């Protein structure tokens, strides 16, 4: 029918700056390549840094119906989107939920997403902080890394990356938030955003060797969070 699913590579934004390669800029080319008469709308897509499913629709009413479905599913405590992530570190519990407040905080010249463990009622009401929830399950683990299934019930920028740092298991290729997880004698602990400036993710020599990467190549390692599945009505 009117739906089309694509697999987006990491690093490709949905809406880019003028002159920047983006999914939106590619849609007219895609429509001509497929010989379709109608324009596409983006129904659902992973964030710029993430890879995975992009759901497109060529019918306005279908788009509206699906967007309403995703909103109501979250309100009914359902999890319509399922992600997979490779993490550096293995969670202490095989499955569970990460529930925290998230907000934007200015750090020097840049704004960053930081957790607020116990947000006040007034800050939530003023929408300064958003209450967020992600369900996770460990699918496998090897060599100090894990494959996780992630199901966010809420939507907030960089929610999954921040939630994984709260598990002390940052996503592989997370160069924004992984610096908040420190280690002493092999035991991980959480650092405050102020004490952990953003930097290229640090990996041990054994993991670098297994990935076939040099320390200089690390900055090009993409974020290993992938939108794998969408539940549709």
> Alpha carbon 3 to chain centroid distance?
23
Residues 6+ apart with CB under 8 A from 134: 97, 98, 150, 151, 152, 153, 154, 159, 160, 163
Does the 3-78 domain belong in CATH 3.40.50? no
Per-residue pLDDT reduced to its tens digit, 21-64: 999 889 999 889 988 878 888 999 999 999 999 999 999 999 99
Matching residue, tokens 């598990």: 167
Per-residue pLDDT reduced to its tens digit, 134-146: 999 999 999 899 9
Domain map (residue ranges) of the chain: 3-78, 82-230
Q: Which residues of the chain have pLDDT under 50?
A: none
Contact of 129 with 123, CB cutoff 8 Å: yes
pTM for this predicted structure: 0.93
């Amino acid at each position: 029918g009117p739906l089309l699913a694509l697999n987006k590579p990491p690093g490709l934004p949905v809406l880019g700056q003028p002159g920047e390669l983006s999914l939106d800029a590619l849609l007219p080319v895609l429509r001509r390549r497929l010989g379709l008469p109608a324009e596409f709308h983006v129904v659902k897509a992973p964030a710029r840094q993430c890879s995975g499913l992009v759901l497109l629709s060529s019918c306005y009413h279908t788009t509206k119906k699906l967007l309403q479905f995703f909103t109501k599913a979250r309100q009914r405590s359902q999890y319509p989107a399922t992600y997979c992530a490779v993490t550096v570190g293995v969670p202490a519990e095989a499955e569970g939920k990460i529930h925290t407040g998230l907000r934007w905080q200015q750090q020097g010249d840049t704004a960053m997403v930081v957790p607020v463990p116990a947000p006040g009622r007034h800050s939530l009401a003023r929408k300064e902080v958003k209450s967020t929830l992600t369900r996770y399950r460990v699918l496998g683990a090897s060599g100090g890394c894990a494959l996780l299934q992630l199901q966010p019930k809420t939507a907030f920028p960089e929610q999954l990356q921040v939630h994984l740092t709260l598990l002390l298991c940052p996503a592989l290729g997370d160069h924004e938030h992984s610096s908040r997880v420190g280690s002493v004698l092999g035991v991980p602990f959480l650092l405050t955003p102020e004490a952990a400036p953003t930097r290229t993710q640090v990996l041990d020599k054994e993991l670098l060797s297994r990935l076939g990467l040099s320390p200089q190549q690390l900055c090009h390692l993409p974020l290993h969070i992938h939108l794998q599945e969408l539940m549709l009505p």
